[in-house]
Amino acid sequence: MKKSLIYLDAENIRNSIDLLEVAELVHGKGEVETYALCIHQCPKEAYGKFDVIINVQDDSIQTYDVLNITNCLEEMHRNYTFDSILIPATHIGRMLAPRLSMRLHVGLVADVTAIDHHDGELEMIRPAYSGKIMAGIVNRGRVPIMMSVRQNIFSYTSHQVKNTLSINVYPTSIQASNISLLEMKVKEKTKDIRESTVLISGGGGVMDQFHRLDELALELNAQVSASRRIVDSGIATRKIQVGQSGHTVSPKLYIALGIYGSLQHIEGLKNVENIISVNIDKDAPICSLSDIVVEGDAVEFIEKLVEKIRREKV
Amino acid sequence: MNLICLVKFVPDVEDFKYDVTRNVLIRENVKMILNPDDACALAFCLKVKEKDPETFVEIVSMAPTSVVGHLEDLLRRNFDQATLISDRMYVGSDTYVTSRILARYLEGKTFDCILTGTHSLDGDTSHVPSQVGEALRLHQISNIVKIEETQFKTGWPVVDVDSERFISSYRVGLPAILSVSKDSKYKLPFVKFKNLDLDVSAKIKIITNRELGFRADEVGLEGSLTQVAHTFTRNLQKEDRVFVKTDEEGIDTVYDFLHAKGFI
Ligand SMILES: Cc1cc2nc3c(=O)[nH]c(=O)nc-3n(C[C@H](O)[C@H](O)[C@H](O)COP(=O)(O)OP(=O)(O)OC[C@H]3O[C@@H](n4cnc5c(N)ncnc54)[C@H](O)[C@@H]3O)c2cc1C
Ligand SMILES: Nc1ncnc2c1ncn2[C@@H]1O[C@H](COP(=O)(O)O)[C@@H](O)[C@H]1O
């Protein structure tokens, strides 16, 4: 049985737990014993999912103190000798993983988005050159295998309930720290469509009801953008136009409502991770780039999805 | 103050052409540019030096000697020294090896702070700053959008960090490694007209493995702990598309997708 350690980052707990999927892809389902490490108290969701939860009990460790978290992880690795260590690529995770790999003298693959096996050898897939190419990376034989994993790519769907063993550990390697958090401010939302993580975009198909896009944007914390068709008819300003003569955008999610997907429009979509298109014509070019194609009226889609989101909230 | 700034020259990815028939990126004749984050880190160093002319700023880069021209161009903007770490043995080093090489050079230096970029356009791993931090056992902070200048001199700077949802302010004791993001908007000034042809060659120092003393099996491709097995371009067309309608099942599918991906 292999042992895999997953670092649970408070910044994105649900996704940290989803790294269980990666552990299974790396070692094989049922072939791996999974360990979670949390600083302070472990969230309830993790119980029943991991074989072992290691709770680090030391009030002096701050969740941003990467040096001391590295000390803890190293100490745990010396105790358990893990075969793999998986770290979510959060803001902290992206500083923690390289530091730990240096400490353990093992290779590290950054921002993994897929796991592959070639002739029995593990290949970790990641984007490079700003997503223009993908690279398959192999580890040169040293263990543990280490990677940071791109957020919200993998999801763990198993319903198996495990009898989780919870251990409190009192690390001996904690050192005095000269870093402290003074304050945290929620970021002001920018109005620039290029900086938006989610874009709700409308085209010729929603010409008369373009303002309805706001309702969905509000629920998804998104901004509204448009195709040239909408801009040329004076319904929206050029500032929110996507495409060759508008802006190039790279949101994580692009919902295209009534957009045909001309070449000039698609030119403006760079490294968009997920596309959902709603169109009465399921063969419109934008649909071939989409993860989900919804065939039907865009405004009806907005109404129903907004209603569903609101219903699930209560 | 003594500042060291780590910089890297990268291929201009916006300039990449795509060969659709062969499904590859055309990388020949792509021009090299200063990594954008690193330009901001350099610009911050110049700001410090402007207020406090005693400040000494050394630029350190590990690269082939073909970047000398780029380094000279930087030196004409009032930096004090550029060190190029360059050796045929180092070709093909992964981030682990690159960081060890940079760290071995830095170990022998005295400095108040090391500035770097957060990530690079090509590899985009963000590994090097943290790994160098580990090798030197210093704190390292990524995604910095602002460094308070007055406190910087006291050795306890306050830095603002962009972590997607928050801007957090940290106080950190120097020496440390501060990694700047291009969102910081620190701007590298142009070379002054009168300095365009300034001879700066005396300010460039080249360091090879003779000074750093690695064994051949510790560096380059051989010493690397990870290896690129192959590269490929992503097929734009999605293969496993899901088709639904605007009925309840369709809306549920969309909702579950948004939920699983963390958008709701
Ligand atoms: C040099 C040049 C530069 C250009 N630059 C840009 C640019 O930067 N950005 C840009 O966007 N365009 C640009 N264009 C224009 C571009 O080629 C298209 O004309 C434009 O994008 C079409 O917009 P559309 O897809 O919204 O509209 P349409 O072509 O009108 O398509 C509407 C789509 O909505 C669907 N639909 C209709 N009713 C509904 C409904 N009730 N519910 C759901 N779906 C429905 C239809 O099936 C269709 O697919 C440029 C053109 C040129 C020549
Ligand atoms: N070869 C190198 N020489 C000097 N600095 C580097 C080198 N590679 C990376 N860096 C520094 O590390 C940062 C992050 O780069 P990377 O780890 O490649 O994403 C860059 O912005 C540079 O400041």
Which pLDDT belongs to residue B23? 55
Q: Is A84 on the interface with B (CB under 8 A)?
A: no
Closest C-alpha residue for ligand 2 atom 21? B117
Residues A141 and A32 in one domain: yes
Sign of dihedral through CA atoms B147, B153, B158, B161? positive
Which of A227, A266, A276 gets mutated to test ligand 1 (max ligand atoms within 8 A of its CB)?
Answer: A227
Which pLDDT belongs to residue B235? 60
Residue A255 sits at φ, ψ, to 5 deg, of: -105, 115
Residues A160 and A199 in one domain: no
DSSP H/E element including B115: strand B113-117
Rounded CA separation A241/A255 (Å): 14
Side chain identity, residue A166: S
**A277: pLDDT confidence band, cut at 50, 70 and 90?**
very high
Six token digits for residue A280? 């009465």
Domain assignment of residue A42, yes or no: yes
Side chain identity, residue B111: F
DSSP H/E element including A37: strand A32-39
Residue A80 sits at φ, ψ, to 5 deg, of: -110, -15
Residues A42 and A122 in one domain: yes
Say yes or no: CB of residue A127 within 6 Å of ligand 1.
no
Residues A85 and A142 in one domain: yes
Q: Across all residues in chain A, what is the average pLDDT?
A: 93
Rounded CA separation A64/B143 (Å): 13
Residues A160 and A209 in one domain: no
Q: What is the pLDDT of residues A219-258, one digit of tens each?
A: 999 999 999 999 988 899 888 999 988 888 889 999 999 9
Domain assignment of residue A179, yes or no: no
- The C-alpha torsion from A7 through A9 and A12 to A13, rounded to 10°, is 70
**B126–A110 C-beta distance less than 8 A:** yes
Crossing angle of helices A66-80 and A93-104, rounded to 10°: 50
Would the pLDDT of A19 be above 90?
yes
Sequence-separated (6 or more) residues with CB below 8 Å from residue B252: A308
Which pLDDT belongs to residue B254? 96
**A11: pLDDT confidence band, cut at 50, 70 and 90?**
confident
Which of A208, A210, A228, A277 gets mutated to test ligand 1 (max ligand atoms within 8 A of its CB)?
Answer: A228
Cβ atoms < 10 Å from Cβ of A106: 21
Six token digits for residue A187? 């970021």
Q: What is the CATH number of the domain that holds A235?
A: 3.40.50.1220
**A281: pLDDT confidence band, cut at 50, 70 and 90?**
very high
Q: What is the pLDDT of residues B167-197, one digit of tens each?
A: 999 999 999 999 999 989 899 999 999 999 9
**What does the pLDDT average to over A80-106?**
97
Length of chain B: 264
Which pLDDT belongs to residue B180? 98
* Best residue in B225, B232, B248 for a mutation probing chain A (most A CBs within 10 Å): B225
Sign of dihedral through CA atoms B253, B259, B262, B264? positive
**pTM of the complete model:** 0.79
Q: Where are the alpha helices (DSSP H) in chain B?
A: 36-51, 68-75, 95-107, 127-136, 149-152, 209-212, 220-223, 248-260
CA angle B134, B136, B139 (to 5 degrees): 60
**Residue B194, min C-alpha distance to chain A (Å):** 36
Rounded CA separation A42/A28 (Å): 26
Rounded CA separation A158/A80 (Å): 25
Would the pLDDT of A147 be above 70?
yes
Which pLDDT belongs to residue B231? 83
Query: A168 vs A130, which has greater pLDDT?
Result: A168
CB A106 within 8 A of CB B225: yes
Which pLDDT belongs to residue A264? 84
The residues that bridge with B58 in the sheet, in sequence order, are B4, B81
Domain total of chain A: 2
Residues A206-241: b if buried by 16+ CB within 10 A, e if exposed = beebbebbeebbebbebbbbbbbbbbeeebbeeebb
Residues A77 and A211 in one domain: no
Residues A65 and A116 in one domain: yes
Cβ atoms < 10 Å from Cβ of A76: 20
Instruction: Tell me which CATH code domain B2-223 carries.
Output: 3.40.50.620
Q: What is the CATH number of the domain that holds A16?
A: 3.40.50.620
Domain assignment of residue A278, yes or no: yes
**B261–A102 C-beta distance less than 8 A:** no
Q: What is the pLDDT of residues A154-210, one digit of tens each?
A: 889 888 999 999 999 999 999 999 999 999 998 876 678 988 999 999 999 999 999
Residues A33 and A157 in one domain: yes
Q: Is A267 on the interface with B (CB under 8 A)?
A: no
**A308–B252 C-beta distance less than 8 A:** yes
For residue A51, what are the domain limits? 2-169
Q: Which of A212, A255, A262 is nearest to A232 (CA)?
A: A262
The residues that bridge with A53 in the sheet, in sequence order, are A36, A166
CB A18 within 8 A of CB A48: no
Please tell me what DSSP assigns to residue A280.
S
Sequence-separated (6 or more) residues with CB below 8 Å from residue B158: A182, B147, B148, B151, B169, B170, B171
Atom of ligand 2 nearest to the CA of B127: 17
Rounded CA separation A118/A131 (Å): 22
Burial label for B218, CB within 10 Å (0-12, 13-18, 19+), is middle
Which pLDDT belongs to residue B237? 63
Domain assignment of residue A140, yes or no: yes
Rounded CA separation B60/B7 (Å): 6
Please tell me what DSSP assigns to residue B188.
P
Domain assignment of residue A57, yes or no: yes
Task: Parse chain B into domains and list their residue ranges.
Answer: 2-223
**Residue A6, min C-alpha distance to chain B (Å):** 19
Which pLDDT belongs to residue A313? 85
Which pLDDT belongs to residue A190? 61
Which pLDDT belongs to residue B201? 94
- Profile chain B (264 residues) by mean pLDDT over runs of 10 residues: 96 67 63 94 96 96 95 96 97 95 97 96 90 98 95 94 91 97 92 92 97 96 91 70 95 95 90
DSSP H/E element including A263: helix A263-266
Domain assignment of residue A188, yes or no: no
Atom of ligand 1 nearest to the CA of A242: 9
Rounded CA separation B161/B183 (Å): 10
Domain assignment of residue A130, yes or no: yes
Residues A210 and A165 in one domain: no
CB A130 within 8 A of CB B26: no
Q: What percent of chain A has pLDDT over 90?
A: 75
Complete DSSP assignment for A141-185 = S-SSEEEEE-TTS-----------EEEEE--S------EEEEEEE
Q: What percent of chain A has pLDDT over 70?
A: 98
CB A140 within 8 A of CB B96: no
Say yes or no: CB of residue B98 within 6 Å of ligand 2.
yes
Which pLDDT belongs to residue B16? 66
Domain assignment of residue A185, yes or no: no
Distance, C-alpha A191 to centroid of its chain: 23
Rounded CA separation A191/A7 (Å): 34
In angstroms, what is the span from residue A86 Cα to ligand 2's centroid? 23
Residue A42 sits at φ, ψ, to 5 deg, of: -80, 140
Rounded CA separation B78/B5 (Å): 13
Sequence-separated (6 or more) residues with CB below 8 Å from residue A268: A242, A243, A244, A246, A247, A248, A249
For B135-215, list the strands marked E by DSSP: 140-147, 158-162, 166-172, 177-180, 204-207
Residues A45 and A108 in one domain: yes
